[in-house]
Amino acid sequence: MQKILENALEIGRKYIPEGECASYIPELAKADKNHLGVCIRTRGMETFSAGDTKERFTIQSISKVITLMVALQHCGFNKVFEKMNMEPSGDAFNSLVKLDLTSDKPFNPMINAGAITTAGYLVPDVSFEDMLNYARCLCLDKDIVMDEKVFRSEMDHCARNRAISYLLQSKGILESDVEKSLELYTRMCSLSVTAESLAGLGLVLSNGGRHPETGERLIDKYAVQVAKTIMLTCGMYDGSGEFAVRVGIPSKSGVGGGILAVVEKRMGIGIYGPALNEKGNSIGGSHVLEYLSKELNLHMFAAEQ
């Protein structure tokens, strides 16, 4: 396994020069684009790591998975999807064009409009501290904190997300306080994780929301089922279709360079690689996952060997 991970990194590294760190949040541009790490945590409680797996970075859009699951558990399926769809958008994660012109609902909870809507469901009753505790618990990482610098940097440069939020309010989709919903969304994006924490989250999701060692239920099982399905269809933004064909593992990326991947009933995989492709997905990380999927036969529709 260790050799396979090292080979995967070697392949992933070749693509780093073609990618760039996100810069629309100035603090993210400071990341070292050469970092690349992959961690696998298995149902047998083994951990395999290669590369930069202890480096902390912000979770960004991967937090949308946590927010969605907590909202489903807290408000129920009907409420969450009353004003939101579950279809891929085919547009960039921060697009507001179709939301304004052709649709009265955000396309799905994995794009910014959907995640801000979801945060709005939670704002009246669930505090950021509660959400931080969920994140620590689900990622099996008690050291997760909010990265204050990244949070401030994003809040100072979030004109687009603010525009999306007020558009949602104008359409009657976001009913909670707009600024509080935007702030909760941005705080969740600023949680600092490692590739290992993401592998932990993947492991819990692969185990249907139960703690892999104690069996304790950490999150509602139906919420986990819904989240994994939407990760498969929408988790890599407008790159989700090709990613599903090439990799075939429900995954979610973030512009901090993370990728969370869930191999059903087998393992969680966490990636860190801040050089992004044009869709905003880790370029090295995507190739690492494609290689691992082939080598370890992880594609959900892989022909049996």
Please give the residue ranges that form the binding site for ligand GLN (CB under 6 A). 60-61, 93-94, 112, 154, 161, 189, 254-255, 280
- Kindly name the residue from 121, 134, 185, 291 that is annotated as catalytic: 185
Report the residue number, 49 or 94, with the smaller CB distance to ligand GLN: 94
Task: Give the shortest CB-111-to-ligand GLN separation in angstroms.
Answer: 8
149 is catalytic: no
Report the residue number, 62 or 223, with the smaller CB distance to ligand GLN: 62
Evaluate whether 112 touches 163 at the Cβ level (below 8 Å). no
- Kindly name the residue from 15, 121, 237, 291 that is annotated as catalytic: 237
Task: Give the shortest CB-254-to-ligand GLN separation in angstroms.
Answer: 4
Report the residue number, 247 or 255, with the smaller CB distance to ligand GLN: 255
| Half-sphere exposure for 245 (CA within 13 Å, toward CB) | 3
Distance between CA atoms of 277 and 284, rounded to whole angstroms? 9
- Kindly name the residue from 204, 224, 255, 263 that is annotated as catalytic: 255
Task: Give the shortest CB-188-to-ligand GLN separation in angstroms.
Answer: 9
Report the residue number, 94 or 95, with the smaller CB distance to ligand GLN: 94
Local structure of residue 280 (DSSP, 8 states)? S
**Cα separations (Å) of 123 from 4, 69, 87, 105, 168?**
43, 15, 24, 19, 15
Task: Give the shortest CB-181-to-ligand GLN separation in angstroms.
Answer: 13
Longest dimension (CA), the chain: 54
Q: Is 194 exposed, middle or buried (0-12, 13-18, 19+ CB in 10 A)?
A: buried
145 is catalytic: no
61 is catalytic: yes
Q: Residue 23: what are its φ and ψ, rounded to 5°?
A: -125, -5
Task: Give the shortest CB-4-to-ligand GLN separation in angstroms.
Answer: 28
**Cα separations (Å) of 301 from 41, 144, 239, 297?**
21, 34, 19, 9
64 is catalytic: yes
- Kindly name the residue from 15, 33, 61, 262 that is annotated as catalytic: 61
**Residue nearest to ligand GLN according to CB distances in the complex:** 61
185 is catalytic: yes
Report the residue number, 15 or 93, with the smaller CB distance to ligand GLN: 93
| 125 contacts: CB under 8 Å, gap ≥ 6 | 74
Strand order in the sheet with 37-42: 47-51, 37-42, 267-272, 258-263, 251-253
Write out the catalytic residue numbers. 61, 64, 185, 237, 255
